[in-house]
Amino acid sequence: MKTTTLLAGLLILGSAGPIICYADQTDADRHHPGTFIKDSAITTKIKTKLAADHITSAAKIHVDTDKDGVVWLTGTAHTQSEVDRAGEIARDTEHVVSVRNNVTVKRDD
C-alpha cells in the first residue's frame, strides 16, 4: 500500500514539472511564479465581481492582468454603461495599478 501511494505521489510530482517549465516559457514577462499567481488572482477577482454585478455582457468581456498590475479589458458589451461599470469594477479591485478598457459597445441583433 505504501509503495502504491509513493508511486502515485511521484507521478503527480513528476507531471507537475513540465507544466511549470512550460508556463515559464510561455509567460516570459513573468519572472517569478508568485507574480503569475498574483496576476491570475487579480484577473479572477475582477471576473467574479463582473459576474456578481450582473452585467449582462460579462461573459463577453475578457480580463487579463500583466506583471505590473495593469488590467486589460477587451471584448464587447451591450451598452456604454456596462463598459463604464466594467472599468469601475476593475479599478476598484485590490492591487490594480491601472485599467486599459478596450471594451466596445455591440448590441445583439
Write the pLDDT tens digit of every residue in 7-65: 444 444 444 444 433 343 344 444 555 555 678 999 999 999 999 998 888 889 999 99
Are both 38 and 73 inside the same structural domain? yes
What residues form DSSP beta bridges with 102?
A: 74
| Per-residue DSSP letter, 67 | T
CA 60, 68, 70, 39 dihedral sign is: positive
Q: What is the pTM of this model?
A: 0.65
Query: What is the tally of structural domains in the chain?
Result: 2
Are 79 and 109 in the same domain? yes
Return the H-helix or E-strand segment holding 102: strand 98-105
Q: Residue 67 belongs to what domain range? A: 31-109
Same domain, 26 and 67: no
Indicate if 76 and 53 belong to the same structural domain: yes
